[in-house]
Amino acid sequence: MPVSARSRLFLDPPSATLAHRLWFGWALVWATVFTVTMSPCVVLHSAFRPTARTLRAWMRPWARFVLGMWGVRVRVEARAPVPDGPVVFVSNHVNSLDIPAAMVGLPRPFLYVARHEIRAWPMVGWVLDKTACLFIDRSNARRSVADLRRVAERIRGGDSVLLYPEGGRSHGHALNPFMRGPFVLAIESGVPVVPVTVVGHAGLLSTTEKLARPGETRFVLGEPIPTAGLTRADAADLQERLRAVIAGELAAFGPAE
């Protein structure tokens, strides 16, 4: 990647300046106002049509507004076309910018697959619980297996899904260990896996330090990896292959923290 292209990205977290604290406050106020205003509409619509298309119809304008008010530009880069039919998108998970960036960057409707704890989050958890979001309870092995099977049924029924195999946010330009479950799910669903790499989010927002700044972020769609013919025994290899792809994309933009 040319140095000029790399230099437009912030890979280090925002510094603790008054300007960055004020920008965080500005971003938080506008995101909260628009989320509270829009939430009843998407929940009501989803009560009659709880589909990925309904979620996208409301969440994509929400994402564009939120990112616009935050001063965040999303540059989408596709290494290869996304195949027709349902797919499993597998992405690294950095911070709160991941969700609006996914709504802008992914080329088709999809279902979120989130950990069960998010249901308890104020406003966000309520909206996701009432719309086309699927939850996985990792605290109980039996419930986790049952939840994964329900997700697989939705995929085989034609829905694409977005998974975060790190299981939590990295808050940086690096990867946490991947969990095996998402890759077993992809294999059992029999659909292609599309690696997704988000780059630059950690340099624009720090929710732990309450800092933010405007700038550009990248949303990279990798080459799809087929799962046809794979078995559960191949899940570890698929996991390492996806992790290597995403780690390689991150390394191309700069060193990990």
Q: How many CA atoms does the CB half-sphere of 55 hold within 13 Å?
A: 24
Q: What is the mean pLDDT of the chain?
A: 86
CATH of domain 3-253: 3.40.1130
Task: Tell me the pLDDT band of 21, cut-offs 50, 70 and 90.
Answer: very high
Pairwise CA distance, residues 50 & 111, whole Å: 10
Report CA-CA distances (Å) from 105 to 72, 73, 178.
Answer: 13, 11, 22
Candidates 31, 79, 88; CA nearest to 230 is 88
Q: What is the pLDDT of residues 136-165, one digit of tens each?
A: 776 666 777 777 778 888 888 888 999 999
Residue 5 confidence (pLDDT): 43
pLDDT, tens only, 80-123: 999 999 999 999 999 989 989 999 999 999 988 776 666 666 66
pLDDT by residue (tens digit) across 39-77? 888 888 888 888 888 888 988 999 999 999 999 999 999
Kindly list the domain boundaries of the chain, sorted by start residue.
Answer: 3-253
Give pLDDT, residue 2. 40
| pTM for the whole structure | 0.88
- What span, in angstroms and rounded, lies between the C-alpha atoms of 57 and 40? 14
Which residues lie closer than 8 Å to 21 by C-beta, 6 or more apart? 210, 211
Closest among 104, 111, 66 to 205, alpha carbons compared: 66
In this prediction, residue 48 carries a pLDDT of 84
Average pLDDT (202-230) is 94
d(CA 41, CA 26): 24
